[in-house]
Amino acid sequence: MSDKIYEILEKEITKEKENELKKLLEPYKGGLAGIAQINPIVGDLEYNSKKIVQHINLAQNIGLDTVIFPELALTGVLIEDIAKRHPFIVDENLKWLNEISKITKKTTAIVGFIEKNGDEFCNSVAILSDGKIQNILGKSGGSVVINGIKYGILIGDDCSDINDDIDVLINCSASESRTNKEQIKHGILSFTAKKYGVPLIYVNQVGANDSL
């Protein structure tokens, strides 16, 4: 089953392919989650928003309950230094986030963005569904119930505990690759998932920050 889904996703997604995916996923209704490992351009809010909308629309068309995006998907990673020099980008990313929320229907989108908390800038995630922003979780993460499933959400490399009973653990990340980084993070997330006895969904950005 998974091989067939990957085969479809590797090609351009036409309406015919969407219908094929929807049919394949039909028996698994209830808790269907997809990950959208996009390659955002740092600071290009319009480009990134269009990518996010494209994946939300696909998720809705094939009947997913939830689609999960990486940490800072809307702005691109390493945005904090830029935000300190040009704070207007924070306001702009909130405007785009609000516009993105309007296209959501029953499928819930978990989208990474940046928000201001006092003098600090926070990597946060927004929970979008039914045409609006339903909830916002800050850098410390938290839990949210989506279609009866309780997700614990961790953001970035700060894989601290979720002080709650959860059904599924999510890590929205934008981790760059370096020596031993993958093994270290795998160990931390594996320990946390085993501690709660739940499955783990890990979503990271792809590509490189060659747009800086």
Q: Which band of pLDDT confidence, cut at 50, 70 and 90, is reported for residue 157? A: confident
**Does the pLDDT value for residue 160 go beyond 70?**
no
One-letter amino acid at 194 equals K
Determine the Cα–Cα distance for residues 182 and 204; give it in Å rounded to an integer.
12
Q: Which band of pLDDT confidence, cut at 50, 70 and 90, is reported for residue 10? A: low
Nearest alpha carbon to residue 149 among 57, 65, 40 = 65
Pairwise pLDDT comparison (140 vs 38), residue with the higher score? 38
3-state secondary structure of 107: coil
User: Using one digit for the tens of pLDDT, what is the confidence trace for 99-146?
Assistant: 999 999 999 999 999 988 777 788 899 999 999 999 999 888 889 999
**Percent share of the chain, pLDDT over 70:** 85
Pairwise pLDDT comparison (60 vs 18), residue with the higher score? 60
Least confident of 47-56, 126-135, 139-148, 159-168: 159-168
For 39-96, give the DSSP string: -PPTT-HHHHHHHHHHHHHHHHHTT-SEEE--TTTTT-TT-HHHHHH-THHHHHHHHH
**pLDDT score at 104:** 96
**Does the pLDDT value for residue 96 go beyond 80?**
yes
